[in-house]
Structures are given as structure tokens and as C-alpha cells.
A = this chain, B = another copy of it.
Amino acid sequence: MDDFVDKTIAEQNLRMSLRALNSMSKSELVAQEIIGRIQSGDFKKDTCLPSEKELSEDLGVGRSTVREAVKQLVVQNILEIRRGKGTFISSTPGMIADPFGLRFHSDKLRLGVDLCEIRLMIEPVLARNAALNATSEQVQMIRKAQSEVAEDVKENRHHEQSDIKFHSAIARCTQNSILPPLMRVITSGIPYLIKITDRALTAQAVETHQMVLDAIEAHDPKRAFEAMTLHLEQNKSALEQKISER
């Protein structure tokens, strides 16, 4: 079975590549070659890319073709320009700021509810996990983020970033490599949520954050799960209320 699958997958890839190759420009081919070298470990994350001149000689293409390929890869955060330092392989290649194109959604309220629904599937599980497995350093990070939120709210400052930090600190109690980019997507609605809801929800948020923190500190997984669920349900209801009012 394995052999069968391997063989036919290889055939598929070959067919795909041939078709793809035919329609690719030179700069796209160079971009693919650079991607391949990152994947193989030839080019390592967070290190400097060889110079335009070196790449151009190595690959037998003009320097403008290399420049064009580099531009395409920078847009995708596969390469990044570091000012005064040169072009580097990104430390998180291929992870972009808005990978699902959320900025193109026209109905922001609806989008906010959709994000809450996804957060309700993920974050209570993460809170439960934190209550079970967080190290004392990790609990300390969550506590610190919550103090920042409370302080920001008290001082009438923005608390978007401290709020995101609180949720991310809980997510970081797992080693799952998909969570960092996923959390970035699903918490991207927080600034908007804060903007369109009023101070009542903010006070409520500080309170339910505290309940989550208390449960994690008490190593009580069930309570942590429920507190995070309550916190997110409140957010979702506030958005649904706004939808019903329009």
C-alpha cells in the first residue's frame, strides 16, 4: 500500500510539476528553487540569503530575475529584508499577517461572531490544558498578562495588546506548532471587539479573565474550561446583540 501510494503520489507530483513548470516565469522558478532549498535545510531559517550576485551565478539567471523572485518571496514572508543587514530567510517562513484574508470581509460584526465560534472550540481546551500542565513560569506569564489588562483598563488605556497577550500566554502552555499562527488569526478580532462594545463588556472581561486565571492557578481543569467558555460566550453575545440592533 505504502509503495503504491508513494509511486502514484510521485507520478502525480511529476505531472503537476511539468504542468506547473510550463506556466511558470523564470522568477517563479527561481522562487521555487529558493523555497526548495529552505525546505531541504540548505538555506536555514533566520540566516542571511546568499547575495543577488551569488544566486544569479549559481542558478544561471540574470540578477533582475533573482531580484524579482526575492520580491515575491518577501511578500509571502518567506524571505525578509532586514534594514542595513540584508535579505534573510524568515524565522517563520510562509506565515503572513492575515492568512485568511479577514481584512476583505465586509461584515465585521458577522466576522466577529464567526471568530468567537472558532475561539469557543479552541480556547476552553487550551485553558483546561493550562490548568493541567502549565509550569509555574507559564502561570506567571498568564498572571502578568492579566495584571496588564486590569491596569490598562483601570488607566483607560488600550488593552487590545495585553488582552491578546493573556490569551496567547494560555495557548503557549502547549507545544503545538500550529497554535501560534492560529491564535494570531483567531485573536485578530479582539481590537475590533473592544472597539465596538462598551466599557461594561471590558469590566466583565477583566472579571472572567480573572476566573480563568484563578482556575489555572488552582490546577482545576474543569473550572478553567468553563471560565474560558463563559468569557467567550459573553463576547459572542455582545456581538450578536449589536447585530440584532442594526
Contacts and interface: CB of A to CB of B under 8 A. Distances in A.
Interface of A: 1-2, 4-6, 8-9, 35, 38-39, 41, 45, 68, 71-72, 75-78, 92-96, 98-106, 110-111, 114-115, 117-118, 121-122, 125, 156, 158, 174, 176-179, 181-182, 185-186, 191, 194-196, 198-199, 202
A136 to B, nearest CB: 24
A105 B177 CA distance: 9
Nearest to A115: B178
Given A1-B199, A4-B156, A104 B93 contact: yes
B94 A101 contact: yes
A165 to B, nearest CB: 17
B176 A117 contact: yes
21 contacts: A1-B198, A1-B199, A2-B198, A4-B156, A5-B194, A9-B195, A39-B106, A45-B104, A72-B75, A75-B76, A94-B100, A94-B101, A94-B102, A102-B178, A105-B177, A110-B177, A111-B177, A114-B176, A117-B178, A178-B185, A178-B186
Nearest to A199: B1
A60 to B, nearest CB: 22
B117 A121 contact: no
